């Protein structure tokens, strides 16, 4: 009888133990974007007085760790291009005429989004799931950076159970400081089986009263040769669209 | 009436920008057959002069002024015209300057070249181009085919040379991720690239780029033709999410160099020399960026060689027979930027202090470690007004007599640069 009771308890505990955070995170990655894609994004930095500044980027990504963004607006930034290959990041400024290495914590746009947000790779490429738990409507994933060169040391991610899409992500420094919170909103059907939040809002205790918003448009799967994701191609990135 | 504040709040909430529902029209941003961009610039400047300094004697001979103001305007237009795999790319630059010596205007193409891009892996360019080789911010000893950069304003666009080049790129998986080969020729005739060097040469050069073990590496060779034989290498690598290091090394064989002899004549000596640069870029948690570089200019003048030039210019003020040689020495290297042997560079910039978006104050320091003179350049940049950039900059040149920055014509200067982008 005692053995049967123990067996029943073990069976009852099975679903919790079977919660595979890594699998959930892999699904989150693929539900957000195809592994290789192209998209237009508008970044809006909103100041406490309501004034705002906008940037428009065309972005292409290939595989787990190659991503390139081309600035289309405002005119002062037009034709600038950023490239990320794993932990390596570069910024190409047409006037300077050569790509310059940049780091993930810098921001090429100013505002709350930094380079790691703008050139975001798959979460599974940069983070390991350290714990996963189940709440009423969400999964809660705790993620830890898999190397010292990742912008945020730790992420706390809320994932909607039905859509397997993130709703809120808190980003922490290694000191435990909350750097920013990302809010995923406005789920939209982009076609081609891609249905994801079209809006990502962020706020930060380091920038009280400020908000940055990223709007997605024209997101679709696109395959490009590896050579597009090289320094030599950055001056030609404007030919990609 | 009790509900008025609530109603007002609701109206306010409803009136807030509905970012969550907004999408944007991407047709405006799709590729077109012709695209262009550019800027207009206005730059008033006030200079406080260093009477008696070498630079002053060269720039304001027989003058007694203590200040000089200068107005400059500039316009730059860049564009691309596309037809299938072919494109024509250009950057046209015009400027107008008015100062105490009068006024002058200039208009030219900084770049104008045709490109055939067979596929993303290969391309061929023919025409006037600026290559921008090297990894350094203030100096680039391996930029064998570029015009010299202004270290005080390293992000200014520069005029290129007429050349033909090709680029082949291959990507791999593994420690070597990218390999790119770029052969270049820079032909010189009496009319083509006359300021590159002697006419009648093709000036071949080649650059091999690799991204290996997360490090950018370039190997560069330029054959002896209009200019001496040169070879060099550069590298750049991120050591963390906030730290980048870079360096350049270049060796030049049998290069001519103007040298003032003890008997006050101008001789051309031949020397082989090595130049190098080491630098880093570091970002703190509070978003302060430090860029530091050390530059050794192998062809630069030593302290004693430069002192001979300072003495010559001062002597020329009272001995007219020396004016010609002093002027020629200045033009042939002694008065060029970074003319001496070693320099230190430090730039500290603070991104958006006090939560002021798009505001970047910075201070830049150039130091000559041999004579302990320096230039200190505080500045503030604001880009918060759409399509405008405002930069207020002050420069202080400081040093004793017979030191590099102490002998500059300008002791200090203040300038405002306003750019409108379109």
CATH number at residue A29: 2.50.20.10
What average pLDDT does the structure give for chain B? Answer: 92
Answer whether A217 sits within 8 Å of B23, measured CB to CB. Answer: yes
Which residues in chain A have Cβ-Cβ distances shorter than 8 Å to B383? 76, 110
Question: What pLDDT is stored for residue A102 in this prediction?
Answer: 85
- Which residue among B87, B211, B243 sits closest to A103, beta carbon to beta carbon? B243
Confidence of residue A15 (pLDDT cuts 50, 70, 90): very low
Confidence of residue A106 (pLDDT cuts 50, 70, 90): confident
Question: What pLDDT is stored for residue B392 in this prediction?
Answer: 98
Assess B244–A contact: CB distance below 8 Å, yes or no: yes
Answer whether B352 sits within 8 Å of A229, measured CB to CB. Answer: no
pLDDT tens-digit map of B165-218: 999 999 999 999 999 999 999 999 999 999 999 999 999 999 999 999 999 999
- Which residue among B115, B121, B240 sits closest to A149, beta carbon to beta carbon? B240
Assess B281–A contact: CB distance below 8 Å, yes or no: yes
Question: What pLDDT is stored for residue B5 in this prediction?
Answer: 42
Domain assignment of residue B6, yes or no: no
Q: Tell me B121's DSSP state.
A: T
Domain assignment of residue B176, yes or no: yes
Which of B119, B120, B174 to mutate to probe the A interface, most A CBs <10 Å?
B120
CATH code assigned at B80: 2.40.160.10
Domain assignment of residue B14, yes or no: no
Domain assignment of residue B306, yes or no: yes
Which residues in chain B have Cβ-Cβ distances shorter than 8 Å to A94? 78, 157
Strands B373-382 and B388-398: antiparallel
Number of CB pairs < 8 Å for A and B?
Answer: 183
Rounded to a whole number of angstroms, the distance between the first and last alpha carbons of chain B is 50
Confidence of residue B18 (pLDDT cuts 50, 70, 90): very low
Confidence of residue A50 (pLDDT cuts 50, 70, 90): confident
Number of domains in chain B: 1
Could you tell me which chain B residue has the CA closest to the CA of A148? B240
Domain assignment of residue A215, yes or no: yes
Which residues in chain A have Cβ-Cβ distances shorter than 8 Å to B216? 88, 101, 231
pLDDT tens-digit map of B371-393: 999 999 999 999 988 899 999 99
Residues B205, B232 contacting (CB under 8 angstroms): no
Question: What pLDDT is stored for residue A6 in this prediction?
Answer: 52
Confidence check on the interface: ipTM exceeds 0.85, yes or no: no
- Which residue among A45, A199, A217 sits closest to B20, beta carbon to beta carbon? A199
Buried b (16+ CB within 10 A) or exposed e, B143-167: bbbbeebebeebeebbebbbbbbbb
Assess A103–B contact: CB distance below 8 Å, yes or no: yes
Domain assignment of residue A229, yes or no: yes
Number of domains in chain A: 1
Domain assignment of residue B377, yes or no: yes
Helices (H) and strands (E) in chain B, counts: 4, 18
Domain assignment of residue A200, yes or no: yes
Q: Is the pLDDT of residue B364 over 80?
A: yes
Cα–Cα distance measured from residue A128 to residue A155, given in angstroms and rounded to the nearest whole number: 10
> Residue A166 CB: number of other CB atoms within 10 A?
26
Taking alpha carbons only, the member of A146, A151, A189 closest to residue A172 is A151
Domain assignment of residue A9, yes or no: no
Which residues in chain B have Cβ-Cβ distances shorter than 8 Å to A52? 17
Give CA B107 to chain center in angstroms: 19
Question: What pLDDT is stored for residue B17 in this prediction?
Answer: 44
Cα–Cα distance measured from residue B364 to residue B152, given in angstroms and rounded to the nearest whole number: 9
Could you tell me which chain A residue has the CA closest to the CA of B283? A106
Q: How far is A111 from chain B (nearest CA, A)?
A: 6
Assess B149–A contact: CB distance below 8 Å, yes or no: no
Answer whether A107 sits within 8 Å of B214, measured CB to CB. Answer: no
B72 vs B101, residue with greater confidence: B72
Q: Is the pLDDT of residue B75 over 70?
A: yes
User: Which segment of A206-210, B96-100, B205-209, B401-405 scores lowest on mean pLDDT?
Assistant: A206-210
Question: What pLDDT is stored for residue A2 in this prediction?
Answer: 57
Q: Is the pLDDT of residue A177 over 50?
A: yes
Question: In which domain, by residue range, is A222 found?
Answer: 21-239
Cα–Cα distance measured from residue B299 to residue B139, given in angstroms and rounded to the nearest whole number: 14
Q: How far is A188 from chain B (nearest CA, A)?
A: 10
- Which residue among B120, B167, B357 sits closest to A210, beta carbon to beta carbon? B357
Residue B306, Cβ density class (10 Å: 0-12 exposed, 13-18 middle, ≥19 buried): buried
Mean pLDDT of B20-43: 86
Question: In which domain, by residue range, is B327 found?
Answer: 40-421
Residues 6+ apart with CB under 8 A from B246: A101, B135, B136, B234, B235, B236, B237, B277, B278, B279, B280, B281
Sole residue written with tokens 């909607």: A160
Q: How far is B319 from chain A (nearest CA, A)?
A: 44
pLDDT tens-digit map of A143-159: 999 988 788 999 999 99
Torsion from C-alpha of B56, B61, B64, B66, nearest 10 degrees: -30
Domain assignment of residue B129, yes or no: yes
Q: What is residue B304's three-state secondary structure? A: helix
Question: What pLDDT is stored for residue A61 in this prediction?
Answer: 96
Assess A94–B contact: CB distance below 8 Å, yes or no: yes
pLDDT tens-digit map of B257-301: 999 999 999 999 999 999 999 999 998 878 899 999 999 999 999
Question: What pLDDT is stored for residue B23 in this prediction?
Answer: 59
Domain assignment of residue B253, yes or no: yes
């Amino acid at each position: 009888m005692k053995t049967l009771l123990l067996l029943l308890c073990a069976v009852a505990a099975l679903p919790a133990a079977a919660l595979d955070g890594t699998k959930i995170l892999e699904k989150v990655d693929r539900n957000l974007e195809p592994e290789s894609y192209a998209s237009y994004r508008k970044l809006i930095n909103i100041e406490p007085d309501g004034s705002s500044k906008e940037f428009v980027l065309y972005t292409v990504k290939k595989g787990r760790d190659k991503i390139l963004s081309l600035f289309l607006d405002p005119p002062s930034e037009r034709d600038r291009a950023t490239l990320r290959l794993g932990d390596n990041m570069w910024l190409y400024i047409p006037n300077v005429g050569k790509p310059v290495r940049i780091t993930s914590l810098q921001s090429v746009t100013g505002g709350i989004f930094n380079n790691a947000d703008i050139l975001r790779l798959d979460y599974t490429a940069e983070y390991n799931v350290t714990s996963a738990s189940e709440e009423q409507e969400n999964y809660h994933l705790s993620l830890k950076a898999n190397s010292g060169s990742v912008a945020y040391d730790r992420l706390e991610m809320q994932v909607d159970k039905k859509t397997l899409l993130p709703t809120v992500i808190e980003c922490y420094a290694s000191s435990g400081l909350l750097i920013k919170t990302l809010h995923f909103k406005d789920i939209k059907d982009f076609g081609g089986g891609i249905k994801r939040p079209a809006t990502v809002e962020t706020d930060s205790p380091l920038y009280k009263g400020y908000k940055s918003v990223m709007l997605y448009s024209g997101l679709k799967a696109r395959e490009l040769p590896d050579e597009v994701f090289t320094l030599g191609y950055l001056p030609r990135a404007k030919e990609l669209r | 009436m009790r509900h008025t504040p609530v109603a007002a709040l609701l109206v306010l909430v409803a009136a807030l920008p509905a970012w969550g529902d907004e999408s944007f029209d991407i047709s405006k941003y799709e590729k077109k057959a012709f695209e262009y961009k550019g800027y207009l610039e206005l730059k008033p400047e006030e200079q406080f002069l260093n009477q008696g300094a070498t630079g002053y004697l060269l720039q304001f001979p027989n003058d007694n002024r203590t200040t000089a103001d200068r107005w400059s305007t500039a316009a730059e237009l860049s564009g691309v015209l596309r037809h299938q795999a072919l494109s024509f790319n250009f950057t046209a630059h015009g400027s107008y300057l008015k100062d105490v010596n009068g006024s002058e205007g200039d208009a030219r193409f900084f770049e104008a070249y045709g490109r055939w891009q067979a596929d993303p892996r290969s391309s061929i360019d023919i025409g006037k181009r600026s290559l921008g080789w090297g990894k350094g911010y203030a100096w680039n000893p391996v930029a064998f085919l570029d015009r010299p950069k202004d270290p005080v304003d390293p992000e200014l666009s520069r005029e290129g040379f007429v050349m033909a080049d090709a680029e082949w790129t291959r990507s791999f998986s593994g420690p070597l991720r990218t390999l790119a080969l770029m052969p270049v020729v820079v032909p010189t005739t009496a009319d083509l690239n006359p300021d590159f060097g002697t006419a009648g040469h093709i000036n071949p050069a080649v650059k091999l780029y690799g991204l290996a073990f997360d490090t950018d590496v370039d190997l560069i060779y330029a054959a002896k033709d209009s200019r001496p034989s040169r070879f060099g290498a550069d590298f750049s690598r991120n050591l963390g999410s906030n730290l980048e290091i870079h360096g350049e090394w270049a060796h030049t064989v049998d290069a001519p160099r103007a040298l003032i002899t003890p008997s006050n004549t101008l001789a051309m000596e031949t020397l082989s020399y090595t130049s190098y640069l080491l630098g880093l870029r570091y970002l703190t948690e509070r978003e302060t960026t430090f860029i530091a570089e050390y530059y050794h200019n192998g062809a630069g003048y030593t302290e004693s060689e430069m002192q001979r030039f300072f003495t010559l210019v001062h002597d020329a003020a009272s001995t007219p027979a020396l004016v010609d040689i002093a002027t020629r020495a200045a033009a042939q290297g002694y008065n060029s930027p970074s003319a001496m042997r070693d320099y230190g560079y430090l730039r500290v910039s603070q991104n958006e202090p006090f939560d002021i978006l798009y505001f970047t104050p910075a201070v830049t320091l150039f130091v000559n470690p041999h004579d302990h003179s320096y230039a200190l350049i505080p500045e503030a940049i604001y880009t918060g007004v759409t399509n405008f950039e405002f930069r207020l900059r002050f420069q202080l040149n400081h040093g004793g007599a017979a030191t590099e920055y102490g002998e500059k014509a300008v002791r200090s200067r203040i300038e405002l640069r306003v750019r409108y982008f379109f």
